[in-house]
Amino acid sequence: MRMFDIIDKKKHGKELTREEISYFVKGVTSGEIPDYQTSALLMAICFKGMTDEETAELTLAMAASGDEMDLSHLSGIKVDKHSTGGIGDKTTLILGPLMAACHLPVVKMSGRGLGLTGGTIDKLEAIPNLSCSLSMEDFFHQVEEIGVAVASQTASLAPCDKKLYALRDTTATVDCIPLIASSIMSKKLASGSDAIVLDVKYGSGAFMKTEEDAKKLATIMVTIGEHCGRRMDYVISDMEQPLGQAVGNSIEVNEAVRMLKGEGPQDLREVVFQLGAKMLLLGDIVSTEEEAVKLMEEHLSDGSALEKFREMIRCQGGDASFLDTEELLPLASYTKEILATEDGVVTKVAADIIGHTALDLGAGRTTKDDAVDPGSGVFVCKKVGDKVKKGEVLAKIYTSSEDGLLEAQKECAGAFVIEGQSR
């Protein structure tokens, strides 16, 4: 078999066979296929697409390119949750402890930031001393002991995806449904959960720009998961504006804690409840959505979800004392406010611009080796539909360096559209 022929075949829009896909995945993983040929095939896939069968074959081959975790020795139905990524998405920080409090075990492998802002691991590591680099033994032991553990993905989990993602990121081939579906589902399948709930986002701050594309992506991922014997469900959620108010690392942990204390913004609460209800249903903890909502409300209001978070932080070596302080985790010391320049109603808070601002302030990374600044970020004070008066605070930005603060302030202001109330 020759890589040249595989690229040529896809270039002409033809369907690749299982053997050709397997040859490609093995060659990428071993390093035998040079990056220029891999990139050429990725671009051909972007232009010509893949059938559902090809996407499923690619996913399976990628899942088998490294270690595949066996969770069968852990008790209960293990339910994973995955977001396709967005701005201000801190749902895992809330759902992990909340589901564990509801007696649904959560065995979660997460990544560092791929896009504009930090990933779940970056957010958790904003908690002093907390580590997500857990040995498999400690990871499983923690799930048995307290019902929840969040660890960073090991290099041996779907290694082919790591190589492909690094190339896609630099060759403008990320936003392609078969490539996103196989990337996400290969890691999910290799992580070994019995059931998976997908949060597929659309809008300016997401890979999918339209609801229709988000549904297409969700459908293909569900089909692949079910084909592999996993229980699957999904939520389609809006990412035109950031989720909740906080965008960054410490700042998002603080918002998650507020929600675990029964407070927090309504849009975040809605997405958490939608995802949580599907997780509890797939995990056979409840039999109706109403029961799920009641159970989650109980565990948020009696403090048991917050206590689970405390246990999880302590088990992973972190200092949980911030949970008892009014200010929670400290934010970076340089701050600026973005003020409304007119009276009106907020009609847009562009998630992509807020994400770029957070990145520029230090909350995300431009290369995989960059360090993230835990205390930097954006706090969005006004969301779509809110009335504002000239001079009112629309957002606050935080960073550890004065450099670029004024540019970030300007950039962030550009995310807001205010229209006169009479319209």
Give the active site residues.
Answer: 82, 161, 168, 183, 187
What is the DSSP secondary-structure string of 26-40?
HHHHHT-S-HHHHHH
Q: Nearer to ligand URA by C-beta: 221 or 295?
A: 221
Q: Nearer to ligand URA by C-beta: 85 or 159?
A: 85
Is 63 an interacting residue with respect to ligand URA (CB under 6 A)? no
Question: Smallest distance from the beta carbon of 280 to ligand URA, in angstroms?
Answer: 24
Taking the C-alpha atoms of residue 229 and residue 231, their distance in angstroms, rounded to an integer, is: 7
Interacting residues with ligand URA between 269 and 298 (CB under 6 A): none
396, 252, 274: which is closest to 328 by C-alpha?
Answer: 252
Query: Within 10 A of 317 (CB to CB), how many other CB atoms are there?
Result: 15
Q: Nearer to ligand URA by C-beta: 104 or 180?
A: 180
102, 83, 21, 16: which is closest to 51 by C-alpha?
Answer: 16
Specify the stretch interacting with ligand URA by CB under 6 A; choose among 44-52, 130-138, 178-186, 409-417.
178-186
- Nearest residue to ligand URA, scored by beta-carbon proximity: 183
* The pairing of beta strand 231-238 with beta strand 195-202: parallel
The alpha-helical segments, DSSP class H, found in 203-288 are: 211-227, 250-260, 266-282
Taking the C-alpha atoms of residue 45 and residue 177, their distance in angstroms, rounded to an integer, is: 10
First vs last Cα of the chain: how many Å apart?
64
53, 353, 26: which is closest to 224 by C-alpha?
Answer: 53
Identified binder of ligand URA from the candidate list 22, 38, 117, 183, rule CB under 6 A: 183
Q: Nearer to ligand URA by C-beta: 86 or 344?
A: 86
Is 316 an interacting residue with respect to ligand URA (CB under 6 A)? no
302: its two tokens? 């009696």
Q: Nearer to ligand URA by C-beta: 185 or 340?
A: 185
Question: Smallest distance from the beta carbon of 85 to ligand URA, in angstroms?
Answer: 5
Identified binder of ligand URA from the candidate list 29, 84, 193, 399, rule CB under 6 A: 84
Specify the stretch interacting with ligand URA by CB under 6 A; choose among 19-27, 40-48, 177-185, 290-298.
177-185
Q: Are 271 and 237 in contact (CB under 8 A)?
A: yes
152 forms beta bridges with: 110
Is 180 an interacting residue with respect to ligand URA (CB under 6 A)? yes
Identified binder of ligand URA from the candidate list 66, 85, 88, 264, rule CB under 6 A: 85
Question: Smallest distance from the beta carbon of 176 to ligand URA, in angstroms?
Answer: 8
197 forms beta bridges with: 81, 233
| Site for ligand URA, rule CB under 6 A | 84-85, 114, 174, 179-180, 183-184, 207
